Amino acid sequence: MQKRIFCVILAVLVSITAFIPFAEADCTLYASDGRTLTVSDERVEAFKKVGWYETPEEAQLITMYATDGRTISIAAFHREAFEKVGWYNTIEEVTYTMYSEDGRSLRVFKDEGELYRQVGWFYNIEDVSVKMYDADGNEHLVFNANIEEAKKNGLTPYRFEVQQLMFAADGRIIYVPFELAEAYEKVGWYRGGGKLDPTRPMVALTFDDGPGKYTDRVLSCLEKYGVRATFFVQGKNVAGYKNTLKRAVELGCEIGNHTYSHVKLTASSGQTIASQISNTNTAVYNATGVYPKLYRPPYGAYNSSVLSRIAMPAIMWSVDTLDWKTRNAAKTLASVQKSTTDGAIILMHDIHSPTADAVETVVPYLLMQGYQLVTVSELIEARQGSIVNGRVYNKVKPVY
Ligand code: NI
């Protein structure tokens, strides 16, 4: 009987020990260098702490990147932890493409971008190139260094010079071949700016006393309709708005001289007149690379002495909108509607917000009336061939 009990106990023990390998299944672990290892389940956690992984994917080495150019090779298992402390999965995420004016491009690490910027590289391709248009109106991206050559090849930065800009009263704008402009006019479209046609009516919008904080709004409206204007600036305002003036010149606008600090020239000494004019010319040249060819005396005050002292023509006006007084966009438009005729020089002031509002309606109104909006110099040259220094212009009538 005792022997039998012993046999039962032995059988139970044997079956228990036989069972243990089933409960304690082996587990295969993977190292990043390709080794594998089989360990019992209970030892897996310990092995994971010393660089073993449960799947080949987790063990696989990946490269991660930092913005300062460092790279690191880690098991894929740690990817998320590294992402949380500033590492990236692709080199694209830690670099910029930067551009030079001559059209070269370069990938640099983000931490070095500022250094490259300081030595003449740019973050955006738009900063080193412009859109230019061929005779068919097709768009070309031209690097700044190649602009002059592109111009020689017939490209222009102004699409309205190679195609007719047309607009609808509801604000839509399209470009069409010049020969189709008339057909579009018959179905309710109006001409925006385009090639200057000396046989069609034209007027010159002029803005005094700036540049100021509303000048860019005026420019955006002019740009939208492909038209130009003349800005008679005070020299003392130029330094604060260099980019604005540069933009005006780039849009084909003209910059005139309105003295350095708005002095009454008829009450100034010869020396003051000379410095007020020349300091403004220098300021405009430094900002835009172009010297003013015209001046407008502040308060419209001139006499024969003033005219003889300044080697430029004095530009007055034929339409005084009184925008500086009314500060009312509707009244400014009404004044233009009432008084404008072919060859008019229209006086406004871009230092007032309501004037910038008025331009939004004045420009399309004049275009709808069939006027071309040109600079003062373009107006005089188109009508009289040349501009005469010392002469006073207040409107430039058609000669035909
Ligand atoms: Ni003024």
pLDDT tens-digit profile, the chain (400 residues):
566 665 555 555 555 555 554 556 789 999 999 999 999 999 999 999 999 999 999 999 999 999 999 999 999 999 999 999 999 999 999 999 999 988 899 999 999 999 999 999 999 998 999 999 998 889 999 999 999 999 999 999 888 888 999 999 988 999 999 999 999 999 999 999 878 888 899 999 999 999 999 999 999 999 999 999 999 999 999 999 999 999 999 999 999 999 999 999 999 999 999 999 999 999 999 999 999 999 999 999 999 999 999 999 999 999 999 999 999 999 999 999 999 999 999 999 999 999 999 999 999 999 999 999 999 999 999 999 899 999 999 988 876 5
Reference 256, options 290, 232, 280; nearest CA is 232
How is residue 260 written in tokens? 């350095």
As annotated, the active-site residues are: 208, 349
What does the pLDDT read at residue 143?
93
Ligand 1 center to 235 CA (angstroms)? 12
Ligand 1 center to 325 CA (angstroms)? 12
Ligand 1 center to 39 CA (angstroms)? 91
What does the pLDDT read at residue 2?
60
Ligand 1 center to 277 CA (angstroms)? 14
CA 94, 96, 97, 98 dihedral sign is negative
DSSP string of 66-93, one letter each residue? -TTS-EEEEEGGGHHHHHHTT-BSSGGG
What does the pLDDT read at residue 7?
55
User: DSSP character for 127?
Assistant: G
**CA 11 to mean position of chain CA atoms:** 89
Q: What's the length of the chain?
A: 400
Contact 194, 226 (CB under 8 A): yes
What does the pLDDT read at residue 13?
52
What does the pLDDT read at residue 6?
57
Ligand 1 center to 280 CA (angstroms)? 14
In the block, tokens 């300044």 appear at: 310
Q: Where are the alpha helices (DSSP H) in 203-260?
A: 215-225, 235-238, 242-250
* 129: Cβ contacts below 8 Å, ≥ 6 apart: 99, 103, 141, 142, 143, 144
In the block, tokens 């803005």 appear at: 207
Collapsing DSSP states into helix, strand and coil, what is residue 377? Answer: helix
What does the pLDDT read at residue 135?
86
Q: CA 99, CA 108: separation in Å to the nearest integer?
A: 10
Q: What are phi and psi of 5, to 5 degrees?
A: -60, -45
